[in-house]
Amino acid sequence: MRNKRVRLFLDGRSAFSLAAEVAAQAGLRAGTELTDSQVDALVTSDQRQRCFDAAARYLHYRPRSESELRERLRQRGFAGETVENVLGRLKQQGLVDDAAFTRFWKENRETFSPRSQQLAMVELRKKGIAEDIITQTMRDVDDAESAYRAAASKVRRLSGADYDAFRRRLGQYLRRRGFSYSVIDQTVARCWQEIEEQG
């Protein structure tokens, strides 16, 4: 029944369509008489269902922050009141949770694209995450270890470079990921030492 729509006829003329789920919940049958307020309530329920379905599709690809989801639904043309109602419903169902999203995002970054604690916090702020959640989640990030993990993939591609080129290119790479000069120097030295020991 999900995503199916039914047409409603008022006074024998096609008036509007509703999500089949909304029509079923309202117990609509052929010949049912509706007042203006019942029609308004059905239209509101239908908008909420459409908004909920749009949110579910957007969340299907990966978790989102509440702010990201709110922005996306507003861009899709849903009214603010409808969006807030749907966000409340999604939060009750545990489908939108900024603390869980922040943990997911942190683990994803640490695994696939390590960056400095500071840069990661900036990115989370841009996603609308509250400062207390960011601080709580990111407090144990170790920049030295993150920089080393970030450098690991790049070092393989720099294996034939001399020390100056190695230091410059790896340093630029780590700088773009927000690491401080002291962490970069420490990481470059550690990686170069490992290359020399292997050579």
Number of Cβ within 10 Å of residue 75's Cβ equals 8
Q: Collapsing DSSP states into helix, strand and coil, what is residue 161?
A: coil
Find out whether 188 and 167 touch, Cβ atoms under 8 Å: yes
> What's residue 161's pLDDT?
87
Write down the pLDDT at residue 2.
Answer: 56
CA–centroid distance for 169 within its chain: 31
Say what the pLDDT of residue 9 is. Answer: 66
Q: Pull the structure tokens for residue 98.
A: 């900024």
- Calculate the CA dihedral of residues 61, 1, 54, 43 and round it to 10 degrees: -170
Q: What is the pLDDT along the chain (199 residues), one digit of tens a residue?
A: 456 877 766 766 656 677 778 777 777 776 677 777 877 888 888 899 999 999 999 999 889 999 999 999 999 999 999 999 999 999 999 999 999 999 999 999 999 999 999 999 999 999 999 999 999 999 999 999 999 999 998 998 887 889 999 999 999 999 999 999 999 999 999 999 998 888 6
> What DSSP letter does each residue of 70-136 carry, written as one string?
HHHHHHTT--HHHHHHHHHHHHHTTS--HHHHHHHHHHHHHHHS---HHHHHHHHHHTT--HHHHHH
Nearest-angstrom CA–CA distance, 168 and 178: 15
Structure tokens given for 78: 């849903």
Q: From the options 3.40.640.10, 3.30.390.10, 1.10.10.10, 3.30.70.1380, give the CATH code of 5-92.
A: 1.10.10.10
- Taking a C-beta distance cutoff of 8 angstroms, is the pair 6, 21 a contact? no
Give residue limits of the domains in the chain: 5-92, 99-138, 143-198
Nearest to 58 by CA among 83, 79, 80, 92: 83
The token duo for 17 is 């369509």
pTM for this model (two decimals): 0.80
- Report angle CA 96, 98, 99 to the nearest 5 degrees: 120
Tell me how far apart the alpha carbons of residues 87 and 102 are, in angstroms, rounded to a whole number.
17
